[in-house]
Amino acid sequence: MRRRTFISSGFFTVSIGVAVPAFAHDDIIPNYEIPDEFEPREVWLKNDFPAGEIHIAPSQFALYWTLPDNRAIRYIVGIGRPGLYEAGEYYIGDRREWPYWAPTPDMIEREPDHYGPLAEGLPGGLDNPLGARALYLFQAGRGDTYLRIHGTNDPSTIAKRVSNGCARLVNSQLIDLYNRVPVGTKVVLHPIS
């Protein structure tokens, strides 16, 4: 058994085992080459979060799916670029397999040469920026925030500030998370410390 300690953003975790076993997933998902420390791990949490929530600790590039008894599964994620990460409390308002994607008007305005040609969107598939699955973040009184927890086919973007505000996991790990998370789940994007 390996033990690791991570201290940041008020989270304190100690691995209580090796990587969470991989689950069966779509046959077309590649086997991503990622560092061992990026594999999902079951951890202890210092915080007393209820089971069945998602908490993102941006300074750790960590997404925690909370379990009973102050445990969680920790996934390593890519997060929003500076100025685009939006801390707050959300809930999963929708979830989709192989989702359609289109850039938001803000994305087109920020990078017209990159996103303008994609304004009509892309059907689901590995070349789609949302990857194999997407969890749609909503807020009370606001509805769909256009923020997502989604898959990616580019493991080089994990543990980096690369997105337009969304959190991303490699597709195989996102499928594992997606299979655990129902609509209505509370999601907290903690502030960057």
Q: How far apart are CA 133 and CA 170, in angstroms?
A: 10
Q: How confident is the model at residue 28 (pLDDT cuts 50, 70, 90)?
A: low
| Mean pLDDT, the chain, integer | 86
CATH number of residue 135's parent domain: 2.40.440.10
- Cα 98 to Cα 66, 84, 149: the distances in Å are 25, 24, 13
Q: How far apart are CA 33 and CA 184, in angstroms?
A: 32
Higher pLDDT, 78 or 29: 78
For the chain, what is the domain count? 1
Q: In which domain, by residue range, is 44 found?
A: 5-189
Q: How far apart are CA 112 and CA 173, in angstroms?
A: 31
The beta-strand segments (E) located in 9-114 are 11-19, 41-45, 54-57, 62-67, 71-76, 79-80, 88-97
Q: How confident is the model at residue 44 (pLDDT cuts 50, 70, 90)?
A: very high
In this predicted structure, the answer to whether residue 150 has a pLDDT above a threshold of 60 is yes
Q: Please report how many Cα atoms fall inside a 13 Å half-sphere around the Cα of residue 91, on the Cβ side.
A: 11
Q: In what order do the strands lie in the sheet with 143-152?
A: 5-8, 11-19, 41-45, 71-76, 62-67, 54-57, 186-189, 88-97, 133-139, 143-152, 167-170
The pLDDT value given to residue 179: 95
Q: How far is CA 157 from the centre of its chain?
A: 12
The pLDDT value given to residue 142: 95
Q: What is the pLDDT of residues 57-91, one digit of tens each?
A: 999 999 999 999 999 999 999 999 888 899 999 99
The one-letter amino acid code at 149 reads I
The pLDDT value given to residue 31: 76
Reduced to 3 states (helix: H, G, I; strand: E, B; else coil), residue 13 is strand
pTM for this model (two decimals) = 0.85
Q: How confident is the model at residue 182 (pLDDT cuts 50, 70, 90)?
A: very high
Q: How far apart are CA 51 and CA 64, in angstroms?
A: 10
Q: What is the pLDDT of residues 122-139, one digit of tens each?
A: 998 888 899 999 999 999
Higher pLDDT, 153 or 142: 142
Instruction: Summarize the confidence of residues 89-100 as an average pLDDT.
Output: 96
